[in-house]
Amino acid sequence: MRNRAALIGLALIVAGVTPALAAEDDPRWSFSTSVNYSVGDYGTNKDTTIVYVPFTLGVRPIDRLWLSLTLPYIYQSSEDVVVTGGGVAKRKRGGGGKFAAPERSTSESGLGDMLLRVSYVVLEEGELIPEIAPYVKIKFPTADSDRGLGTGEFDETIGVDLSKRLIDRLYGYLTLSYTFVGDPPDTDFRNAFGWSIGAAYSVTAPLAVFAFLEGSTAISPDQSDPVELRVGAEYRLAKALKVTGAVTRGLTDGAADWGLSAGLTLRF
């Protein structure tokens, strides 16, 4: 089995594909969506194309607390891999069973797994300390596992986001997470430790560029740890609206070979 740390740089993920660069005008609500395209063989002999389109609604009921709910649409060109809370896992060959790979390529699309994320800022950024925001994320098995769009199991993730203005217009980011991956029948997925480190630079008031290196531990002993590089830019069209674009390059067999994403975020 093989997996990758974050589906299409879904730093997962999913609800936030871009870094927050400066004060966000104290928003209470947010809505974001993006189109995420990736292609890779994940250590198999056939490429799999995945298109992932999440729709995320966020709310900040009190200061420091963010709640978000993501409902995604997913398309994949074959059933050689299956999406898990830890990323993408290679299906078994031979032996039959629900999670055996099909004999011929197929294409499937439909509702993906719903995600609930709760984040709380326990420490605000200071002169020498970063902002620290632990979070919990739950993946609900709403995707059709019989069609290869999910595992049919719950996954739970605990993690922490750290962010800090380093110098002037340069910002640094670090995310650490641990995902409890649900085991479908006839599988033995390992839990995954994930990480992401990166920086963003505010070129002008509306434009920023960013780069992230992301990875995780492997789900199964016969896979390589997925690692990928993501670079992109975001542009604020209006006070409450920004658009984002990014390119992802997989650095190991556990990640997709290439990925592209484009999205928008509305905060008010």
146 three-state secondary structure: helix
Structure tokens at 196: 């992401």
Domain carrying residue 125: 29-267
In a domain, 228, yes or no: yes
Per-residue pLDDT of the chain (268 residues; tens, 9 = 90+): 333 333 333 433 343 444 445 445 678 999 999 999 999 988 777 888 999 999 999 999 999 999 999 999 999 987 566 666 556 666 555 545 555 555 556 788 999 999 999 999 999 999 899 999 999 999 999 999 888 788 899 999 999 999 999 999 999 999 999 999 998 887 888 899 999 999 999 999 899 999 999 999 988 777 789 999 999 999 999 989 999 999 999 999 889 999 999 999 999 9
For residue 145, what is the domain's CATH number? 2.40.160.40
In a domain, 13, yes or no: no
The structure's pTM equals 0.86
Pairwise CA distance, residues 190 & 147, whole Å:
23
Amino acid at 125: E
Instruction: Find all residues with CB under 8 Å of 163, minimum gap 6, and list them.
Output: 19, 20, 125, 130, 131, 133, 171, 172, 173, 174
In a domain, 149, yes or no: yes
In a 10 Å sphere around its CB, with 0-12 CB exposed, 13-18 middle and 19+ buried, how is residue 93 labelled? exposed
In a domain, 2, yes or no: no
Pairwise CA distance, residues 112 & 52, whole Å:
8
In a domain, 14, yes or no: no
In a domain, 189, yes or no: yes
In a domain, 23, yes or no: no
Count of the separate structural domains present in the chain: 1
In a domain, 12, yes or no: no
